Structure 1
Amino acid sequence: MNAYRSKSLSFPWPPLLYSLAVIAALSLQRWYPLPLPFIWALVAWVVGALLTAIAVTLNVWAVKTLLDRRTTVLTQRCTAHLVTSGPFRFTRNPTYLGYTLLTASFGLLIGNLWFLVMAAVAAALTTLLVIRCEEMHLLSRFGCEFEFYCKRTRRWF
């Protein structure tokens, strides 16, 4: 049996990666602060609030779509169905996109620009450590159907 067929990951990496990104951003701000001018702080806060709303909505919508299709939300379990509806019509990874937007938006809300850097780092690591394994799992489970889905839907946005 194909090793990727039973499950995509053995460890839930995304929560760890984004938690470490938050810790790194807070630490870097303490050691190497990136000041944000006052006038831009207000603009950043408004953009951060908007991104927070988008990120939370995206994550809730993605989880609801997965549950409606009766497939797993957890990355270390075997998926039952290829979900291509809801937010999955626009991005193959709406939850990770939501995590990334939430990390960046938190930095904008509190004026810590390191969160933007760490959100990008977490997204890159998520692609390398998580998404590629998940894609192998989906390819081994759903074959051509998953390939067609990949051709018409972007990985991130």
Structure 2
Amino acid sequence: MNAYRAKPLSFPWPPLVYGAAVLMALVLARLYPIPVAHGDGWTPWLVGGAMILAAISLDLWAVKTLLERHTAVLPHRCATCLVTCGPFRFTRNPIYLGYTLAMIGLGLMTLNPWFFIMAIGAVVVMTLFAIRNEERHLLSRFGFEFERYCRHTTRWL
């Protein structure tokens, strides 16, 4: 049996990557603050809050869709079916996209530019070390069906 077919991901576990990125943004803001023009005090807070709500909604919708299809939600478990409905119609990684939107929302709410920088870093790490392995797993399990899905659905946006 193909190794990718058996297990999609052992490390890094995505919530830990994003959790580390949030902690790094907070630490870097304390050690090396980046000055920000404040402008209208409520606008960044409201937009950031809306982004966080959208991120939570996207994540919940994606998890609900995976559970309804009786396939793995956790990235280190083997997929039992290829899910192409719900938020997966628009992006191949709605949960990771939700995590990224939440980081950007936190950056807006706190006016901390390090959140934006760390969000970009988390996207790079996720793409290189997690998403590529997950995609190899899905390709080995679902073959042409997954290739067709990839041609019609973007990885992030």
TM range (shorter): over 0.9
Contact 2:14 2:126 (C-alpha < 8 Å) held by counterparts: yes
The answer for the alignment partner of 1:67 in structure 2 is 67
CA RMSD of aligned residues (A): 1.1
Q: Which amino acid aligns with 2:58?
A: L
| Residues 129 and 41 of structure 1: CA distance in aligned 2, closer, same or farther (over 3 Å) | farther
> What is the Cα deviation at residue 120 of structure 1?
0.9
Instruction: Single out whichever of 3-12 and 64-73 deviates more from structure 2.
Output: 3-12
> What is the Cα deviation at residue 12 of structure 1?
5.0
The answer for the alignment partner of 1:38 in structure 2 is 38
| Residues 90 and 37 of structure 1: CA distance in aligned 2, closer, same or farther (over 3 Å) | same
Q: Distance in 2 between matches of 1:144 and 1:90?
A: 19
| Residues 12 and 125 of structure 1: CA distance in aligned 2, closer, same or farther (over 3 Å) | closer
SS at match of 1:148: helix
Instruction: Single out whichever of 3-12 and 127-136 deviates more from structure 2.
Output: 3-12
The answer for the alignment partner of 1:102 in structure 2 is 102
Q: Deviations over 1:18-73 (max 9, x none)?
A: 01101110111011112222215432212101111110110000000000000010
The answer for the alignment partner of 1:87 in structure 2 is 87
- Structure 1 position 17 matched with structure 2 position 17: yes
Query: Which consecutive residues of structure 2, in runs of 5 or more, have no partner in the other structure?
Result: none
The answer for the alignment partner of 2:147 in structure 1 is 147
Q: Distance in 2 between matches of 1:147 and 1:41?
A: 46
The answer for the alignment partner of 1:122 in structure 2 is 122
- Of all paired residues, the percent bearing the same amino acid is 57
The answer for the alignment partner of 1:49 in structure 2 is 49
Q: Distance in 2 between matches of 1:24 and 1:107?
A: 12
Moved over 6 A (4+): none
> What is the Cα deviation at residue 107 of structure 1?
1.4
Query: Which consecutive residues of structure 1, in runs of 5 or more, have no partner in the other structure?
Result: none
SS at match of 1:10: coil
Contact 1:69 1:81 (C-alpha < 8 Å) held by counterparts: yes
Q: Distance in 1 between matches of 2:134 and 2:89?
A: 17
Q: Distance in 2 between matches of 1:41 and 1:56?
A: 24
> What is the Cα deviation at residue 87 of structure 1?
0.1
Q: Structure 1 length as normaliser, TM-score?
A: 0.96
Q: Distance in 2 between matches of 1:13 and 1:73?
A: 12
The answer for the alignment partner of 1:26 in structure 2 is 26
